[in-house]
Amino acid sequence: MTPRYSSLSEVQKDLGVGAITLPELVSYYLDNIERSSHLNAFIEVYKDEIKSQAEIVQQKIQSGKAGKLAGAVIGLKDNLCYKGHVVTASSKILAGFESLYTATAVERLLAEDAIIIGRLSCDEFAMGSSNEKSVYGPVLNPINEKCVPGGSSGGSAAAVAADLCLMALGSDTGGSIRQPASYTGTVGLKPTYGRISRHGLIAYASSFDQIGPITHSIEDAFLYLSIMAGPDQYDGTLFHQGYSLENQDAKPLLIAVLKDCVHREGLNEEVKAAFLNLTEKLKKEGHHVEEVNFPIVDQLVPTYYVLTTAEASSNLSRFDGIHYGYRSKEAKGIDNTYKKSRTEGFGEEVKRRIMLGTFVLSSGYYDAYYSRAQKVRRVIQNKTNEILAHYDVIITPTTADAAFEMGKKSADPIAMYLEDIFTVQANLSGHPAISIPLGKKQNGMPFGVQILSRAFEENQLLCAAQQLNACLKES
Ligand code: GLN
């Protein structure tokens, strides 16, 4: 599936010479959305309002006053607030809830003349790896409609892959940008924790969540990052400096390959072969590639699930049937309102996680689970930093396989949780990571390679991604 435009610079070039106007571009995407409505990626399309916005930005382009993102048509994951628009985290419990303010990241895109085309489905409260757990029903993978697009930002990835918008925002708590990017042949960037304000992102696990872009081009992903990054009075965890896009000299890289990821059971043979082929090519290009030990791979997913469910149980307590969205029709009295509204409003997976999180935080089990997992998180972070003290980047396959068939893992939460095996490390440690397309299986399904770099060194990540991509394009 070749998109009409695969980067913002291509769009801006055409807009600049008048080969297309912004209203025409918006109509192009609206037509595509209509034609692909069976994919179920968009929950809502802001058809009327964007037509007039496109006229306004078009005027600005003609008078030379347009912002840096003029021409960018963007979809939003349904957990990002956009004032005056409904946001539900794809959950019944937020049915009909309208945002009272706009997320800082979205506000910054709008300030540079981006156009927000609509709201994209996701797994309920961003919990999931397949986008089968949305109250709006499953999203289909445009490359093979029998398969899942990945999750939780499955609507975002499907929309970009199917050319329904140029870029889509997602959020990544354990891989929700990178895994769907891997499954749809797109680029997905999770910035360093603390790069982009989380203000206006419906929280899942606050010490893990980051907003990021899904795009066709590597350069675009970092361009959007440079616009969205930087301090914000509403998020106290942000780094004091913004991010400025700088091209680094393409020096030979010191690359660490996590031995325990690449030589583990469960890694698909075709994915493994493509990955090892890439490492060989990188060596031939003069890069230094070495396998390093990371013996705590099996601890990654359990640690992630103890800590994120704990944070989720606390974050989601605000959805009580009183403050927001859904209230049970049979609710009577305060306790009963909480109980009935939460029982009816949350889906099965969200309830499972709230209960798990409440359990690991309960007084009898806090030390055994929650505080122990915090200590393991620190070990994971230290070990990752230790490797990055000697290497520029760490690479692994993004996912152990390509997209799976719908329904295949929905009855088995553990199999679904293991989807995150290679991606959760970056969220546990806070490091930035990107997934770029690595190859395709014989059945045509794409899969990605993940690159992870030192915290707040996204320019190094950009440079490495470009170098790997150049290597991949050569053959
Ligand atoms: N698949 C992971 C989970 O279910 C990651 C989700 C995410 O990054 N939001 O928690």
Distance from the alpha carbon of residue 127 to the mean position of ligand 1, in angstroms? 5
CA of 175 to the centre of ligand 1 (A): 6
Distance CA 228, CA 446 (A): 28
Q: Within 6 Å (CB) of ligand 1, which residues are found? A: 126-129, 152, 171-176, 204, 308, 419-420
Backbone angles phi, psi at 447, to 5 degrees: -150, 160
User: How does the average pLDDT of the chain come out, rounded?
Assistant: 96
What is the Cα–Cα distance from 69 to 80, expressed in whole angstroms?
Answer: 19
CA 65 and chain centroid, separation: 31
- Nearest alpha carbon, ligand 1 atom 10: 127
Residue 241 pLDDT grade (very low, low, confident, very high; cuts 50, 70, 90):
confident
Q: Known catalytic residue: 152?
A: yes
Interval between CA 134 and ligand 1 midpoint (Å): 13
What residue type is 244 in one-letter code?
Answer: S
- Of the listed 7, 152, 217, 453, which one is catalytic? 152
If one counts every other C-beta atom within 10 angstroms of the C-beta of residue 276, the result is 12
Q: What is the pLDDT of residues 387-413, one digit of tens each?
A: 999 999 999 999 999 999 999 998 888
| 33 contact partners, CB below 8 Å, separation of at least 6 | 42, 45, 117, 118, 164
Over residues 165-194, the pLDDT tens digits come to 999 999 999 999 999 999 999 999 999 999
Choosing from 6, 7, 36, 77, the catalytic residue is 77
pLDDT mean over 276-282: 97
> If you measure from the C-alpha of residue 415 to the centroid of ligand 1, how many angstroms do you get, rounded to a whole number?
13
- Percentage of the chain with pLDDT > 90? 93
Question: What is the 129 CA–ligand 1 centroid distance (Å)?
Answer: 6
Calpha distance 260→35 (Å, rounded)? 44
Mutation test residue for ligand 1: of 132, 152, 156, 208, the one with most atoms within 8 Å of CB: 152
The DSSP 8-state label assigned to residue 139 in this structure reads P
Residue 409 one-letter amino acid: K
Residue nearest to atom 4 of ligand 1 (CA): 128
Q: Residue 214 contacts by C-beta under 8 Å, 6 or more apart in sequence?
A: 153, 156, 157, 160, 167, 168, 169, 170, 177, 180, 181, 186, 187, 188, 221
Catalytic residue among 7, 171, 176, 435: 176
Please give the number of the atom of ligand 1 that sits closest to the Cα of 208.
8
Looking from the CA of 250 toward its CB, the CA atoms found within 13 Å total 13
Distance from Cα 194 to the centre of ligand 1, integer Å: 18
Pocket perturbation via mutation, ligand 1, pick of 120, 127, 153 by most ligand atoms within 8 A of CB: 127
As a whole number, mean pLDDT of residues 78-91 equals 98
The pLDDT of residue 265 is 85
Question: SS3 of 52, please?
Answer: helix
How far apart CA 436 and CA 136 sit, in angstroms, is 28
User: Measured from the CA of 151, which atom of ligand 1 is nearest?
Assistant: 1
pLDDT at 1 over 80: no
Give the DSSP letter of residue 249: P
| Whether this model's pTM surpasses 0.95 | yes
User: Considering only 112-116, 216-220, 411-415, which range has the smallest mean pLDDT?
Assistant: 411-415
DSSP 104: H
Q: In angstroms, what is the C-alpha Rg of the chain? A: 21
pLDDT of residue 264: 86
Give per-residue burial for 99-112: e unless 16+ CB within 10 Å, then b: beebbbbbbbbbeb
